[in-house]
Amino acid sequence: MSRLIVVSNRVNPPSEAGVGTSGGLAMALAAALREDRGIWFGWSGQTTESFTGQLSMQKVGGVTVALMDLDEQDRQEYYNGYANKTLWPLFHYRVDLAAYERSFSEGYQRVNVRFAETLLPLIEPDDLIWVQDYHLIPLASELRRRGVKNRIGFFLHIPWPARGIFTTLPRHEELARTLFDYDLVGFQTEDFRDAFADYVAHEGGGGVLGEEATAFGVTTRIGAFPIGIDYAEFVASIDSPQAEAAHARILASANGRKLIVGVDRLDYSKGLEDRFLAYEQFLADNPDQLERVFLLQIATPSRDEVDAYQDIRASLEAVTGRINGEYSTMDWVPIRYVHRSHRRDELAGVYRAADVGLVTPLRDGMNLVAKEFVAAQDGEDPGVLILSRFAGAADQMTEALIVNPFSREEVAEAIRQALAMPLEERVRRWRALSEGVRRDDVVAWREGFVARLEASRSDV
């Protein structure tokens, strides 16, 4: 069996200490790499004064990790720049926030070359190389240019946007062309795959036939590989002392009130402000619910070197303050807003305590919080998931209450409906959802992608 090399911008396998704050994706990739004697290669997150190209090899939680440092200019132009100020907003339909600076695209290109050159000596002839996400789209081209013939796959964790959006990117053809140096390109959903096919047909002078996409005179394979959570690990974590403590603490402080929970990275794509305004609408429309319910929003600090993230933080704090100022009573605060990271097992306890999970991104590749929320519920008395139609997860999770996150009325009505939903309906919906979350877990995702990549050839 081939060895697997995973390449991602950041490398964060779980430490020996166990669950902690590592994400499900990190756990699943780490499991694959342990099984296959693989390597996980990427940026250490550290910067040096000038780029050295030195590799530091370590064993973390049984996984061989190969890390390189970047320099400060790389961080600004590649990471904060092209990745997070150009591609991220654009792929999430925020053309208004997307910045196009020549130094950003140069930095992006330069860092992709640095990834390729630093990775090159580690590659053995039979290795499968699996590149993760939008930071590294041109990596296969840079590896091919240096003679790498291995099978290389790419997975996009974020949406592939509609043609009219993607074509606002200066020199979009060059970026799209580099995807054709992969043997397999994976998207989260059929919708994103179709959007890519549409682009290819209209802008690449090609088309898609079954799994094969041809454009710019080259052919690759494409497919939808919806990512899941590490279901077994997540369910096991519900019985941990940390989960139980978090659960007990929330229930004690809830004082019999119903809990609506939101858990997100603090990012404009997650629709937090619209969510708060919809909740305010719910309070205004349902005066009988005042003091009987509260919203707990946990928001992890994220990318705070980027202006747009500082802006969203400030505006959320202002909206929270205004709503709480208007509705709070001596012993009730309608929104508890917590701006910090939590252990995954604590989060499991929080989800478990909730009556409603409010997952309303304006755009999202998948959204793993929706899946974690379902996995954490008590099947005898489950909470209700409200899910944005613009999360990739909505394709699979059709038994959730699916809403348009741009409509305050619709989200407010879904909150009312969720809180009033009879036990029998909650159980019926939850059973269907939980079956899907368990079946289509991260292991299935990883195995599905790797098997497909293994079966592909570079000369399609």
Q: By CB under 6 A, name the binding residues for ligand ADQ.
A: 21, 23-25, 157-158, 227, 263-265, 298, 300, 341-342, 347, 364-369, 372
Active-site entry in 157, 181, 345, 355: 157
Q: What is the nearest approach in angstroms of ligand ADQ to the Cβ of residue 434?
A: 17
- Between 227 and 354, name the residue whose CB sits nearer to ligand ADQ: 227
116, containing H or E segment: helix 102-119
Q: What angle do CA 348, 360, 400 make, to 5 degrees?
A: 70
Query: Residue 73's CB: how many other CB atoms inside 10 A?
Result: 18
Give me the helix-helix angle, 344-353 and 368-376, nearest 10°.
60
**Smallest distance from the beta carbon of 343 to ligand ADQ, in angstroms?**
7
| Residue of 301, 442, 426 lying closest to 368 (CA atoms) | 442
Choosing from 74, 364, 440, 441, the catalytic residue is: 364
Question: DSSP class of residue 396?
Answer: T
Is 29 in a helix, a strand, or coil?
helix
Taking a C-beta distance cutoff of 8 angstroms, is the pair 41, 5 a contact? yes
| Closest CB 9 distance from ligand ADQ, rounded Å | 12
Q: Which residues neighbour 371 within 8 Å (Cβ) at sequence distance 6 or greater?
A: 228, 229, 393, 397, 437
Q: Which is nearer to ligand ADQ, 51 or 91 (CB)?
A: 91
Name the residue nearer to ligand ADQ (CB basis): 21 or 48: 21
Angle between helices 344-353 and 241-254 (to 10 degrees): 40
Say if CB 346 and CB 353 are below 8 A apart: no
- Annotated active-site residue 194? The verdict is no
Based on CB atoms, which residue is closest to ligand ADQ, 204 or 262?
A: 262
Q: Residue 144 CB, nearest distance to ligand ADQ (Å)? A: 25
* Distance between CA atoms of residues 18 and 82, nearest Å: 33
CB of 193 to ligand ADQ, least distance (A): 15
d(CA 243, CA 394): 27
Q: Give the nearest distance from C-beta 123 to ligand ADQ in angstroms.
A: 25
Choose between 152 and 368: whose C-beta lies nearer to ligand ADQ.
368
**Tokens read off for 21:** 């704050």
Residue 227 Cβ, how far from ligand ADQ at the closest point, in Å? 4
> What DSSP string describes 176-204?
HHHGGGSSEEEESSHHHHHHHHHHHHHHS
Whichever of 24 and 61 has its CB closer to ligand ADQ, that residue is 24
The CB-of-158 to ligand ADQ minimum distance in angstroms stands at: 5
Nearest to 261 by CA among 130, 378, 372, 395: 372
Q: Which two tokens stand for residue 373?
A: 């929320």
Whether 221 and 181 have beta carbons less than 8 Å apart is answered as no
Residue 28 exposed, middle or buried by CB count within 10 Å (0-12, 13-18, 19+): buried
**Which residue, 302 or 315, is less far from ligand ADQ as judged by CB?**
302
Q: How far from 370 is each of 34, 215, 218, 348, 363, CA to CA, in Å?
A: 28, 35, 37, 12, 14
Kindly state the smallest distance separating residue 89's Cβ from ligand ADQ, in Å.
12
Nearer CB in complex with ligand ADQ: 138/365: 365
- Nearer to ligand ADQ (CB atom), residue 116 or residue 437: 437
364 is annotated as an active-site residue: yes
Could you give the 3-state DSSP secondary structure of residue 207? strand
Query: Residues 157, 45, 134, CA angle at the centre, nearest 5°?
Result: 25
Catalytically active residues are 157, 364
